[in-house]
Amino acid sequence: MADSTFDIVSKVDKMEADNAVNQARKEIEQRYDFKGVGASVEWSGEKILLKASSEERVKAVLDVVQSKFIKRGISLKSLDAGEPYPSGKEFRIEVGLKNGIDQEHAKKIGKLIRDEAPKSVKSQIQGDELRVSSKSRDDLQETIRLLKAADLDVDLQFVNFR
């Protein structure tokens, strides 16, 4: 019998992210506390650009964006928010989306699987994702439970379970 496998990935659904940004933009345009402070949310290439007239207001805009991402089912671990910085008369925050598992986190996940998962489970890094294999599907499901319970800095999805 061939080994069963699954892939560990970290991807953000671009359409869901776009919907969350649009919802945040609509809320900011309608909320009274954002009137007259130049608050805005927009895509700037692959990043989301938040603008407002003061540092506190731009942090409030970030809070609205984060709440919309949570409602759309996107983990905040997938967001990479920078610090507010002044730009002319306004403050800005750039928020990046993390896609893929970097080498450092991939090695950490691989070590966790080697140390704590059932012994028949093997993992290998393939670019920005991990392939996990074992003869026993039960061991693979136990590994998924282990990784979901672990407190990692990356939002993980488990795909291609065969």
pLDDT in tens, 55-89: 999 999 999 999 999 999 999 999 999 999 998 89
Instruction: Give pLDDT tens digits for 82-137.
Output: 999 998 899 999 999 999 898 999 999 999 999 998 899 999 999 888 999 999 89
Nearest-angstrom CA–CA distance, 49 and 127? 29
For 131, the 3-state DSSP assignment is strand
Cβ pair 10, 156 in contact under 8 A: yes
Stated pTM of the model = 0.85
DSSP-assigned letters across all residues of 83-107:
--EEETTEEEEEEEE--S--HHHHH
The backbone torsions φ and ψ at residue 124, rounded to the nearest 5 degrees and listed phi first, read -145, 145
Rounded to whole angstroms, how far apart are CA atoms 38 and 57? 9
